[in-house]
Amino acid sequence: MAKKKPSRIERAARTLFESHRRKAKFAPLPDALAPQTTEEAYAIQDAFVALKSDVFGPVAGWKIALTTPQMRAMVGLNDSIGGTLHSGQIQRTPGRVRAADYAHMIVEFEVGVELAEDLPAADAPYTRDRVAQAVGALMPALEIADDWNADYRDLAKHALLLAADNAWNEGTVFGAPIAEWRDIDLETLRGIATINGQVVGEGQGRDSMGHPFEALAWVANHLAKRGHGMWRGAVVITGSLVTSKFPVAGDEIRFELGPLGGVELKVA
């Protein structure tokens, strides 16, 4: 029996996967493979994630990117984008990475969520109050991403590729999970980011879509539209409270999130 020819979606995903393996610069896919719609972009993401799972382990959670109007405008999109987290790229504080393993590393500073119950696709749409009921623990999180030396001035020309490319996620470091979070005002929760002991940014919980659980509800509804549910024990990062930073070898990054504690990453 003749081997089935890969679909256009599969070929696009393989092209992305091989480009990342070579640490190639972020570049548009060939016209014949480039996503033409949001649905195609996420279909490519699903196929790309399947390839990544063979190397970095199964999906263990999700992320949201572009949580502010300014960031969406910069890349030419009118909505946030979602991505997945792989089990083999998740660390607990203190995290350690090598700068040489990335083309151009980014770190972002987020509220992390651990789910205590399933959120099935069939029960969507989800509200902020409903997803709050499913939250078992909160923790500070550092997202590790790689922009592949992208020219940010041209991102708006390739906006759908950001979704296809799993929103650039390449790992996450979580602090200790805090189960007693319900008396914390998450809108005013203050986060402080430092690199080598110097403050490089501050933010509040409201800086991610007004509240971290608004971002969580967005992720749940985004997945449900694609027929995917969320499961107990999975983790979610809810968008950066501080502008992206670009660490280099030798840097020590820390994010303090008030009563939720801190998380640390050392870059060799």
The DSSP secondary-structure symbol of 118 reads -
**pLDDT computed for residue 1 by the predictor:** 57
**pLDDT computed for residue 127 by the predictor:** 98
Strand order in the sheet with 235-240: 81-86, 59-65, 235-240, 105-115, 135-146, 169-174, 90-92
Confidence at 224, pLDDT banded by 50, 70, 90 = very high
How far, CA to CA in Å, does 13 sit from each of 24, 38, 52, 221? Answer: 15, 15, 10, 24
**pLDDT computed for residue 179 by the predictor:** 98
Contact criterion met (CB below 8 Å) for 175 and 93:
yes
**Token output for 256:** 């303090």
Average pLDDT over all residues of the chain? 94
CATH 3.30.450.20 fits 57-267, yes or no: no
- List, in sequence order, every beta strand (DSSP E) within the chain: 59-65, 81-86, 90-92, 95-97, 105-115, 135-146, 169-174, 190-195, 198-204, 235-240, 252-256, 262-267
> Letter for the amino acid at 150?
A
Low-confidence winner among 12-21, 115-124, 157-166, 189-198 (lowest mean pLDDT): 157-166
pLDDT exceeds 70 at position 170: yes
Neighbour-count burial for 158-175, b at 16+ CB within 10 Å, e otherwise? bbbbbbbbbbbbbbbbbb
Instruction: Map out the domains of the chain as residue ranges.
Output: 57-267
15-49 pLDDT, tens per residue?
A: 999 999 999 999 899 999 999 999 999 999 999 99
pLDDT exceeds 90 at position 177: yes
48-77 pLDDT, tens per residue?
A: 999 999 999 999 999 999 887 777 777 778
Confidence at 2, pLDDT banded by 50, 70, 90 = low
Instruction: Over range 245-268, report the average pLDDT.
Output: 98
